[in-house]
């Protein structure tokens, strides 16, 4: 439900008909990455602010400066805001735009992965470390070598290996890269050419660097062919996420300008992944960004919309709703608002 289509919306009615309500209302939050540590839910969102910056296709108006961590004792309990966990002023290499983060735990340490722009206006991905899941986090002095673009999502596989997925086009700059090399002259492929792919790299044992050269994550159609750049309803735009369910790896993502959360499945963390369908239909606001987390034996979609701000695209609110699988492991498509 892109911004240009909100003029007719009665937000009182829409909020009544929403399948879920914002987890917090005292600040604006988006891009929720949810995890369960020691039986408690922790959510690592972006912290939206109104910086007074004009809208553009590069997302300059998404001028976030810090991260807050939210926690919930159970899926039905009130979310607690633990305050600022990391601020851009405390990241030596970063200048602005603290976009969608993720976090994980290893050997009692917590690792927050986040994108930000350097002084040259190029996004890279950094990591910050804490002894607590709620921070405060202390950033490494330099970004992860070989990292680029946005939307890091960390996945722990069954064998204890950790992988970082990342990438986003348009403002996320993925279109400027080929074979991990930046060139300002690069643009999106033509509509009949294969779409740009998200990126994966295994993390080093200390969780602070890549253990290998980043590679593309292939997303295929039903015929085993790469999705095309013009297939806007299915191709990857941003917001990669991986979860493991019933013997399969589920790679989910946002289609960006068509506003769907879609997913594909595969047999290992690297893919290839075959497109399966939509998880979430469009929400109010231009962006759609999510995570999927198991809580007490049920699966939940953490997502955001702009209902609380009455349609302001860069002032979003984190929500959660249960997802269901059919007997074949297909995720049932969710409508965010009731008729």
**Distance (Å, rounded) from C-alpha 272 to C-alpha 57?**
30
**Distance (Å, rounded) from C-alpha 46 to C-alpha 63?**
10
**Distance (Å, rounded) from C-alpha 27 to C-alpha 30?**
10
- Token pair belonging to 255: 């289609």
Active site residue 4: no
Active site residue 238: yes
Q: Give, as one character, the DSSP assignment of residue 23.
A: S
Catalytic residue, from 10, 31, 78, 131: name it: 31
Phi, psi for residue 15 in degrees, rounded to 5: -70, -35
Find the DSSP H helices in 5-161.
11-17
Catalytic residue, from 48, 102, 151, 238: name it: 238
**Contact criterion met (CB below 8 Å) for 129 and 141:** no
Closest CA to 98 of 113, 82, 114, 111: 114
> At CA 261, angle to CA 117 and CA 153, rounded to 5?
40
Across 49-204, where does the E strand assignment appear? 66-72, 80-87, 102-106, 109-117, 123-130, 138-139, 153-156, 162-166, 177-178, 181-182, 199-202
Q: Which residues are catalytic?
A: 31, 238
């Amino acid at each position: 439900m892109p911004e240009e289509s909100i003029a007719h919306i009665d937000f009182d009615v829409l909020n009544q008909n929403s399948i879920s309500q914002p987890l917090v209302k005292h600040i604006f939050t988006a891009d929720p990455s949810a995890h369960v540590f020691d039986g408690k839910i922790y959510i690592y969102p972006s912290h939206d602010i109104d910086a007074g910056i004009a809208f553009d296709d590069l997302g300059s108006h998404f001028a976030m400066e810090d991260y807050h961590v939210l926690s919930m004792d159970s899926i039905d309990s009130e979310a607690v805001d633990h305050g600022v966990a990391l601020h851009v002023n405390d990241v030596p290499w970063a200048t602005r735009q603290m976009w969608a983060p993720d976090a994980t735990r290893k050997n009692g340490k917590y690792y927050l992965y986040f994108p930000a722009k350097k002084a040259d206006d190029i996004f890279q991905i950094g990591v910050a470390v804490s002894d607590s899941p709620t921070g405060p986090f202390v950033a490494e002095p330099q970004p992860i070598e070989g990292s680029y673009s946005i939307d890091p999502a960390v996945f722990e596989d069954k064998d204890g290996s950790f992988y970082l997925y990342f990438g986003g086009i348009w403002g996320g700059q993925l279109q400027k890269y080929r074979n991990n090399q930046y060139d300002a002259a690069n643009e999106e492929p033509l509509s009949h050419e294969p779409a740009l792919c998200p990126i994966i790299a295994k993390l080093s044992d200390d969780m602070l660097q890549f253990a290998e050269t980043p590679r593309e994550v292939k997303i295929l159609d039903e015929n085993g062919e790469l999705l095309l750049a013009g297939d806007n309803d299915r191709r990857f735009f941003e917001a990669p996420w991986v979860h493991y369910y019933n013997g399969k790896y589920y790679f989910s993502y946002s289609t960006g300008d068509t506003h769907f959360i879609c997913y594909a499945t595969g047999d290992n963390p690297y893919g290839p992944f075959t497109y399966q369908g939509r998880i979430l239909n469009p929400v109010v606001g231009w962006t759609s960004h999510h995570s999927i987390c198991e809580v007490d034996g049920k699966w939940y979609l953490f997502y955001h919309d702009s209902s609380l701000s009455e349609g302001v695209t860069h002032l979003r609110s984190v929500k959660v709703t249960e997802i269901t699988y059919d007997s074949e492991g297909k995720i049932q498509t969710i409508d965010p608002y009731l008729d």
